Homo-oligomer: A and B are copies of this chain.
Amino acid sequence: MDKILRINMGADGGPQAKTESLGDYAGLGGRAMTSGIVSKEVPPLCHPLGEDNKLVIAPGMLSGSVAAMSGRISVGCKSPLTGGIKESNSGGQPSQMLGRLGYAAIVLEGKPKEKALYKIFINKDGVDVKEDNSLCMLGNYEVVDKMKAEYGEKIHCISIGPVGEMKLSAASIAFTDMEQRPTRHAGRGGVGAVMGAKGVKVIVIDDTGCAARAPADPEKFKAANKEFVAGLRKHPVSGEGLPAYGTNVLTNVINEAGAYPTRNFSTGQFEGAGKISGETQAELENARGGEGSATHGCHRGCVIRCSGTFYDKNGNFLTKQVEYETVWAHGGNCGIDDLDAIAQIDRLDDDFGVDTIELGAAIAVAMEGGVAEFGDAEAATNLVKEVGKGTPLGRILGNGAAVTGQVFGVERVPVVKRQAMPAYDPRAVQGQGVTYATTTMGADHTAGYAVATNILGVGGTVDPLKPEGQVELSRNLQIATAAIDSTGMCVFIAFPILDQPETFQALIDVINGFSGQNLTADDVTALGQSVLKNEREFNAQAGLSSKDDRLPDYFKTEELAPHNVTFAVTDEDLDQVFNF
């Protein structure tokens, strides 16, 4: 990972690719890399779909090594959804492959002079950029099939579906999983629209002939990695809950906590939760003759393995095991309790290339606006199909909850910085509310997952229903997450490293063993802080102020059942989150 691949899509005579040394960006990975490049090179007031925006795809610091859990990838740009900086994180195989190929980042710059669609092929011999308008408006599944036919069975893909081509603000970028299916997505903030604006349909990667990246101190690295894996396996969340039921293990947990946003955040418990829970999903999968629940990683090197496969009623592959956020967004948040319908929508979302959280939130807002009835799975499925077709209604929804709310005159729109809230009501998980309000990303659960401490009892205990302690909790989690997102590690390692000091130390030893550095815990904190400061500065220059670090008013005035709580963290306290 000693080079950056820059492709100027707007060069005279067609796209031009060049590799360059890391320069100022040496040592960065993942989110530190994407936010570093974006904050330094993208004019904060530029149009997100314009030639001045850049799309940065960066494996983590450890990606391409054999370090456990190191296969996450970051996508960065100025977000068409929030107008601020964006890092959207995904699993899938491309991160490890790009690491092995030596690319610390791919930067797509400029935009094509004429409307045209390109495919980019990267292997050990170099980079080839070709116009291919036959891919126009294809779904991600078909694109991957075509690329396999063209470039061989070993390739993996980074691609957009029709929603990205249409440049809708909820468009995602798909990364193929271990089975070469486009099921892992950099979902949030409309990164797919930026890829669409660059005219790039797919990046095809073949790492044949490339070895894993070698650690600087192999013995230290190996020993630390072993200790790290042991730590992951012994923690109840990463070692038991997630492997057993996948992320959807959370449905019952969050619902029981009264923090499950139901029917567009109008109440905190969903009567149909049991029908769409991880436990029910596992039963269903087993009954349909699949390999049961939770046997997959989303990328090579994963030892938590929270992924799985969803089979339809005939036992045929339909989609990945549907993630908690998706089950919620298209399920409880829309009053829908039909797992098969939700899985069908997940498949459509993956194929069209759209963020399941944002689209589910948009559909719920549309339901509140009278476009369909809460609970009507068939209507919801048809709405998703509108998005894929790009009808006016589909384009509204595909631009997310804020646009949908404005278009349909709906007041109760659960967004921060115009990005929809995920599956935790901030009134009943107030630490999560602090993260939603203040993160540079717009409402984002992974940016500082206070659910861990508020609900799951990980990293201590902070009462989820009270404002006390939430700012400090969210601040610390946001800093730690920014660092983790830079390593290429899955954010789920946060559970064991928050609870088990020896596992946190093992992580640092893995990094040091690999890089030959002597980082301390303080250095990790400093890394996270510096990433956040870069991002905050970009957002300030883009026009976002403390007034954007707020939840919509109604979370402060409408009580959420069953606890009948409102969000009680004061504005003054919210403004202290970045006081470090």
Q: Is A46's CB within 8 Å of the partner chain B?
A: yes
Query: Which B residues lie within 8 Å of A544 (CB)?
Result: 543
CA distance A468 to B302 in the complex (A): 62
Encode contact with B along A389-410: 1 for CB under 8 Å, 0 otherwise. 0011101100100010011110
Query: Which B residues lie within 8 Å of A167 (CB)?
Result: 409
Q: Is A545's CB within 8 Å of the partner chain B?
A: yes
CA distance A534 to B172 in the complex (A): 42
A392-B407 CB under 8 A given contacts A45-B547, A47-B553: yes
Copies in the complex: 2
* Interface contact A542-B552, CB-CB below 8 Å: no
Interface size of A as a range: 35 or more
Which A residues from 533 to 576 make CB contacts under 8 A with B?
A: 541-545, 547-548, 550, 552-554
Residue A169 contacts which of B47, B406, B542 (CB distance < 8 angstroms)?
Answer: B406
* Interface contact B396-A407, CB-CB below 8 Å: yes
Query: Which B residues lie within 8 Å of A506 (CB)?
Result: none
* Interface contact A45-B553, CB-CB below 8 Å: yes
Nearest CB in chain B to that of A539: its residue = B547
* Interface contact B406-A80, CB-CB below 8 Å: yes
Residue A545 contacts which of B193, B545, B552, B553 (CB distance < 8 angstroms)?
Answer: B545
* Interface contact A52-B553, CB-CB below 8 Å: yes
Query: Which B residues lie within 8 Å of A548 (CB)?
Result: 543
Query: Which B residues lie within 8 Å of A168 (CB)?
Result: 407, 409
Chain A interface, >50% SS class: loop
Nearest CB in chain B to that of A556: its residue = B45
Query: Which B residues lie within 8 Å of A406 (CB)?
Result: 80, 169, 399, 403
Query: Which B residues lie within 8 Å of A408 (CB)?
Result: 395
Q: Is A20's CB within 8 Å of the partner chain B?
A: no
Q: Is A301's CB within 8 Å of the partner chain B?
A: no
Give the shortest distance, in Å, between A239 (CB) and chain B (any CB). Answer: 43
Give the shortest distance, in Å, between A424 (CB) and chain B (any CB). Answer: 22
Query: Which B residues lie within 8 Å of A193 (CB)?
Result: 409
* Interface contact B547-A166, CB-CB below 8 Å: no
CA distance A403 to B46 in the complex (A): 17
Which A residues from 154 to 190 make CB contacts under 8 A with B?
A: 166-169
Q: Is A50's CB within 8 Å of the partner chain B?
A: yes
Q: Is A49's CB within 8 Å of the partner chain B?
A: yes
Query: Which B residues lie within 8 Å of A256 (CB)?
Result: none
Q: Is A516's CB within 8 Å of the partner chain B?
A: no
CA distance A167 to B44 in the complex (A): 31
Nearest CB in chain B to that of A111: its residue = B411
Give the shortest distance, in Å, between A173 (CB) and chain B (any CB). Answer: 16
* Interface contact A47-B411, CB-CB below 8 Å: yes
Q: Is A459's CB within 8 Å of the partner chain B?
A: no
Residue A166 contacts which of B169, B197, B409, B542 (CB distance < 8 angstroms)?
Answer: B409
CA distance A196 to B408 in the complex (A): 13
Query: Which B residues lie within 8 Å of A52 (CB)?
Result: 553
Which A residues from 320 to 377 make CB contacts under 8 A with B?
A: none
CA distance A369 to B109 in the complex (A): 22
Query: Which B residues lie within 8 Å of A43 (CB)?
Result: 553
CA distance A44 to B545 in the complex (A): 14
Give the shortest distance, in Å, between A490 (CB) and chain B (any CB). Answer: 32
CA distance A550 to B542 in the complex (A): 11
CA distance A196 to B409 in the complex (A): 10
* Interface contact A409-B543, CB-CB below 8 Å: no
Query: Which B residues lie within 8 Å of A166 (CB)?
Result: 409
* Interface contact A550-B45, CB-CB below 8 Å: yes
Query: Which B residues lie within 8 Å of A50 (CB)?
Result: 411, 553-554
Give the shortest distance, in Å, between A84 (CB) and chain B (any CB). Answer: 11
Give the shortest distance, in Å, between A144 (CB) and chain B (any CB). Answer: 24
Give the shortest distance, in Å, between A266 (CB) and chain B (any CB). Answer: 16
* Interface contact A46-B392, CB-CB below 8 Å: no
Most buried by B among A196, A391, A409: A409
Which A residues from 22 to 62 make CB contacts under 8 A with B?
A: 43-47, 49-50, 52
CA distance A45 to B403 in the complex (A): 18
Most buried by B among A167, A169, A193, A197: A167
Most buried by B among A44, A80, A166, A408: A408
* Interface contact A552-B47, CB-CB below 8 Å: yes
A407-B399 CB under 8 A given contacts A393-B392, A547-B541, A553-B50: yes
* Interface contact A403-B407, CB-CB below 8 Å: yes
A547-B543 CB under 8 A given contacts A193-B409, A403-B406, A403-B407: yes
Encode contact with B along A194-207: 1 for CB under 8 Å, 0 otherwise. 00110000000000
CA distance A554 to B51 in the complex (A): 11
Query: Which B residues lie within 8 Å of A411 (CB)?
Result: 47, 49-50, 197
Query: Which B residues lie within 8 Å of A45 (CB)?
Result: 547, 550, 553
User: Could you give 24 example pairs across A and B, Cβ below 8 Å?
Assistant: A44-B547, A46-B553, A47-B411, A47-B552, A47-B554, A49-B409, A50-B553, A52-B553, A166-B409, A168-B409, A169-B406, A193-B409, A197-B411, A392-B392, A392-B407, A395-B396, A395-B407, A395-B408, A541-B547, A542-B547, A543-B544, A543-B547, A543-B548, A545-B545
Chain A residues with CB under 8 Å of chain B are 43-47, 49-50, 52, 80, 166-169, 193, 196-197, 391-393, 395-396, 399, 403, 406-409, 411, 541-545, 547-548, 550, 552-554
Which 8 A-B residue pairings sit nearest by Cβ, starting from the closest?
A543-B547, A167-B409, A392-B393, A392-B392, A395-B407, A49-B411, A47-B411, A50-B411
